[in-house]
């Protein structure tokens, strides 16, 4: 259960948590046209709170809305301001922020042109997405029987609500088979991403992640590519098939919610020695230092509130 906070911001106003209700004719509930973001705010080592890569997340929210022709009735700076303000109002020094843009009620049917575009921002406490043990020791992945959305079927660059039915189907399948998370292949059979994370693998010191063909352009993925470059770890975006992943020395998942979570097994094959490898550890440690404001070189990624 999500732990209630005091306020939710809806269409320009902070309202008590329990009053954040919508009408049953809300268009997005019926047809799935909506976009969202997931952003983390961390309690930093110096006691302050910082929102991690806030402008980049808000930019992606507006990009997603643009692609789906949803005209957000606020400016990006206003939405950024609300993200900071909601943490203050909810007395949260650490939280997960969820901006959601959806189509309100008006007409039904597949042309909601005149329906209002509504915006909510919610903040709640969210611990380790794939479990504390997963974050420390690594998770077990199962390849899904479902294909990741093809660019001719969905807008894969957009963080669209509807894209997540594909993710939920894959995730359930993995959980029901006793695994922690699902990995999806693209329509040509190459590794794409997990149900809610991007994926990386390492072999012989080379870090690889799939290119942005059918995957979400992850902001954590971008952090890892930047960090790898800065740390002198060879890294490239390249397509790879499943057996390439089975043969990796190390693998890990990245996402706002999952942060940097090691992978210890894929489809019954143990990855490397079955525990987080040295490059994974190095990147994970560097990442957590940065988000907690302990690395001055990446202050540009933090918005202190
Ligand atoms: N791929 C997918 C499909 C995805 O959902 C996410 C984030 C990522 C990659 C990584 O993106 P980024 O957060 O920018 O590094 N998944 C969000 C959803 C979590 C949820 O269950 O809700 C998240 O991590 O916030």
pLDDT along the chain (305 residues), means of 10: 96 98 98 98 98 98 98 98 98 98 98 96 96 97 97 95 98 98 98 98 98 96 98 98 98 98 98 97 98 98 97
Tens digit of each residue's pLDDT (9 = 90 or more) over 29-39: 999 999 999 99
The alpha carbon of 272 and the centre of ligand 1 are apart by a number of angstroms equal to 25
Residues 180 and 111 in one domain: no
Q: Can you give the pLDDT at residue 198? A: 98
Do 139 and 120 share a structural domain? no
Q: Which residue has the tokens 């007395």?
A: 91
Express each pLDDT in 158-216 by its tens digit.
999 999 999 999 999 999 999 999 999 999 999 999 999 999 999 999 999 999 999 99
Residues 85 and 151 in one domain: no
- Distance CA(15)–CA(5), nearest Å, equals 11
Domain limit, last residue, from 107, 124, 141: 124
Closest residue CA from atom 10 of ligand 1: 255
**Can you tell me which atom of ligand 1 is nearest the CA of 37?**
25
Q: What is the rounded end-to-end Cα distance, in angstroms, of the chain?
A: 27
Domain range for 119 is 7-124
- 114 alpha carbon – ligand 1 mean position (Å): 30
| Residue 305 covered by a domain | no
Atom of ligand 1 nearest to the CA of 57: 14
User: Ligand 1: residues whose CB is within 6 Å?
Assistant: 38, 167, 193, 196-198, 216, 218-221, 254-258
User: Tokens 């794939």 map to which residue?
Assistant: 130
Within-domain flag for 226? yes
Residue 304 located in a structural domain? no
Same domain? 202 vs 246: yes
Q: What is the CATH number of the domain that holds 18?
A: 3.30.470.10
- Sorted by sequence, the CB contacts under 8 Å of residue 129 that are 6+ apart come out as 196, 255, 257, 258, 259, 261
Q: Which of 51, 216, 221 to mutate to test the pocket of ligand 1 (most atoms within 8 A of CB)?
A: 216
299 domain-assigned: no
pLDDT of residue 234: 98
176-196 in b/e form (b: 16+ CB < 10 A) is: eeebbbbbbbbeeebbbbbbb
CA 112 and chain centroid, separation: 28
Distance (angstroms) between ligand 1 centre and the Cα of 86 equals 21
Q: How far apart are CA 241 and CA 263, in angstroms?
A: 17
| Ligand 1 geometric centre to CA of 97 (Å) | 12
Model pTM? Answer: 0.98
Q: What is the CA angle 47-226-259, rounded to 5?
A: 50
**Listed residues 102, 124, 146: the one ending a domain:** 124
Query: Which residues are catalytically annotated?
Result: 159
- Among residues 33, 3, 178, the alpha carbon closest in space to that of 110 is found at 33
């Amino acid at each position: 259960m999500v732990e209630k906070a005091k306020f939710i911001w809806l269409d320009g106003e902070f309202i008590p948590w329990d009053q954040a209700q919508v009408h049953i004719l809300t268009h997005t509930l019926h047809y799935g046209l909506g976009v969202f973001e997931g952003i983390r705010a961390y309690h930093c080592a110096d006691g302050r709170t910082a929102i991690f890569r806030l402008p980049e997340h808000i930019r992606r929210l507006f990009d997603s809305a643009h692609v789906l022709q949803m005209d957000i009735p606020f400016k990006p700076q206003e939405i950024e301001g609300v993200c900071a303000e909601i943490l203050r109002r909810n007395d949260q020094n650490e939280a997960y922020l969820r901006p959601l843009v959806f189509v309100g009620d008006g007409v039904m049917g597949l042309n909601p042109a005149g329906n209002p575009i509504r915006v909510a921002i919610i903040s709640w406490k969210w611990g380790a997405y794939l479990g504390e043990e997963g974050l420390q020791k690594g998770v077990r992945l199962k390849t899904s029987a479902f294909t990741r959305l093809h660019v001719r079927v969905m807008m894969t660059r957009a963080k669209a609500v509807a894209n997540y039915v594909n993710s939920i189907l894959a995730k359930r399948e993995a959980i029901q088979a006793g695994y922690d998370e699902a990995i999806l292949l693209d329509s040509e059979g190459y590794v794409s991403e997990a149900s809610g994370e991007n994926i990386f693998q390492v072999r012989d010191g080379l870090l690889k992640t799939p290119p942005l063909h059918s995957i979400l352009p992850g902001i954590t993925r971008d952090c890892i590519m930047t960090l790898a470059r800065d740390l002198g770890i060879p890294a490239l975006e390249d397509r790879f098939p499943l057996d390439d992943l089975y043969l990796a020395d190390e693998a890990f998942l990245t996402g706002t919610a999952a942060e940097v979570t090691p992978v210890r097994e894929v489809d019954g094959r143990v990855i490397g020695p079955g525990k987080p490898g040295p490059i994974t550890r190095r990147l994970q440690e560097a990442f957590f230092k940065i988000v907690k404001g302990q690395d001055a070189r990446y202050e540009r990624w933090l918005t202190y509130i």
